[in-house]
Amino acid sequence: MRDFLSDFAAMSAFGATARGGLDRIAGTTAHRDVRRWLAGILSFEGFEVTTDAAGNMFGLLRVAGDAPFVLFGSHLDSQPKGGRYDGSYGVLAAAHAAIAAAERHREGAGEPRYNIAVVDWFNEEGARFKPSMMGSGVFTGKLDLDTVLHTTDRFGVSVADALDHMGVRGTFALGEVAAYAEIHIEQGRSLEERGITIGVVEATWSAHKYDVLVRGDQSHTGATRMADRRDAVLGAAHLITRVRELCDLFPVEALHTSVGELDAFPNSPVTVAGEVRMLVDLRAPHDATLAEAGEHLRAAIADSAAASNTEIEILSVTTWNSGPFLEKGIAVAEEAAASAGHASVRVLTLAGHDATNVKDIAPTVLVFVPSVEGITHNEAEFTRDDDALAGVEVFTRVVELLAAGALDETP
């Protein structure tokens, strides 16, 4: 029987950073290599490994004739200098749970109603190609395949080219998904603070992402009179401080606001920037909060433009609205935790996950394990071994239950 922790250590070597993190951005050589490693294990365990046109990798275990698949997975890509657990933990847990199901099937135990598939969704993180949750977005019909394939990174490499570089642009189509489940680290502190090992996600926060362009006028940092300047970096700076202040208009933790990505042009030390492109990320548990915050953001944009003598335009807004997870799926996860002897509690997810895409096309379960101090998107991201193993145990039960048809309309 495979050892989860030793497999996890081996997997974490692909794209490992010196300080114990991962730098395994979607479509890079490190991402290609960790997929080859996982494909090797899955093939050895009797899975057929294949990819679809959006670069999602599937490991297929046919145990129920022509029945549809139940699907389990997460993502193997990371943020730049990200953590070892975010996404990767869930893919390996899904693989181990599916391998356990395969073993039981070989031993003649159980009678799965569905075939079983494991998935590594392409580019969940969106660090290189935007938007994030790209592979699951195409899979669920939320993103257009052709648009995605032509999307380029900041050096002009397209998704199609990156997939070809990895050798993972395939033609497989999974078809109907009978059910989907994902396990992930919490990326927050609520489980740790309550001392509970298993979180069952009952709803997701909403996220509204504003792609913003600040337009100034390129000039000389030395020679141009201050009064003549239209400084795009200054406009961006005003807006960034105002974005932070939006939170103060709402109760504590009712709204999260960030600017994590910004690019100045021409980004030269002696040139006042003519343009800044930036992403404003607003998240809240309630859509109404984001609608109200959006109004305040528009006012902040007008003020920041006036203060810097620039023009600031919202180029597009991408919205993921909040939504509940299926009550029946929550009950299955709670049953799985109880039967494995672990306490569980219902939680929200603040971060987006592939499961929040898939839940709109198939019955979906999302399970969390604790994340020490909630540190994530950081090399210091950490989940204790006991918690990681407890999650695999519970998730193995979830796989069994879903494969047996626990989320069917008429089970």
Residues 183-202 that bind a second copy (CB under 8 A): 186-189
CB closer to a second copy out of 208 and 397: 208
Query: What is the four-CA torsion angle of 140, 368, 179, 337, rounded to 10 degrees?
Result: -170
Q: How many chain residues bind a second copy (CB under 8 A)?
A: 73
378 binds a second copy (CB under 8 A): yes
Which 139-158 positions form the footprint of a second copy (CB under 8 A)?
A: none
Smallest distance from the beta carbon of 21 to a second copy, in angstroms?
9
Among 17, 152, 158, 271, binds a second copy (CB under 8 A): 271
State the nearest-atom distance from the C-beta of 340 to a second copy, in Å: 25
Return the residue of 88, 322, 376, 396 that touches a second copy, per CB under 8 A: 376
Of 83-102, binders to a second copy (CB under 8 A) are none
- Residue 19 to residue 83: CA distance in whole angstroms: 10
CB of 222 to a second copy, least distance (A): 4
For 242, the 3-state DSSP assignment is: helix
Site for a second copy in 196-235 (CB under 8 A): 205, 207, 209, 217-229, 231, 233-234
State the virtual CA torsion across 221, 226, 232, 238 in degrees, nearest 10. 120
How is residue 79 written in tokens? 């943020």
**Is 270 one of the binding residues for a second copy (CB under 8 A)?**
yes
Q: Is 237 in the site for a second copy (CB under 8 A)?
A: yes
Contact 72, 181 (CB under 8 A): yes
Q: Cα(262)–Cα(243) distance, rounded to whole angstroms?
A: 14
Residues 27-66 binding a second copy (CB under 8 A) are none
DSSP string covering 283-305, please? Answer: EESSHHHHHHHHHHHHHHHHHHH
Tell me which of 51, 56, 74, 79 binds a second copy, using CB under 8 A.
79
Residue closer to a second copy (CB basis): 68 or 80: 80
Report the C-alpha gap between 101 and 403 in whole angstroms: 9
Among 352, 363, 391, 405, binds a second copy (CB under 8 A): 352
Distance in Å, CB of 320 to a second copy, minimum = 10
Residue with smaller CB distance to a second copy, 308 or 364: 308
HSE-CB of 85 using CA atoms within 13 angstroms: 27
Other Cβ atoms closer than 10 A to 266? 10
Q: Which stretch binds a second copy (CB under 8 A): 54-62, 253-261, 294-302, 394-402?
A: 253-261
CA distance 213 to 90: 36
Question: CA 24 to CA 38: how far, in whole Å?
Answer: 15
Q: Which is nearer to a second copy, 3 or 193 (CB)?
A: 193
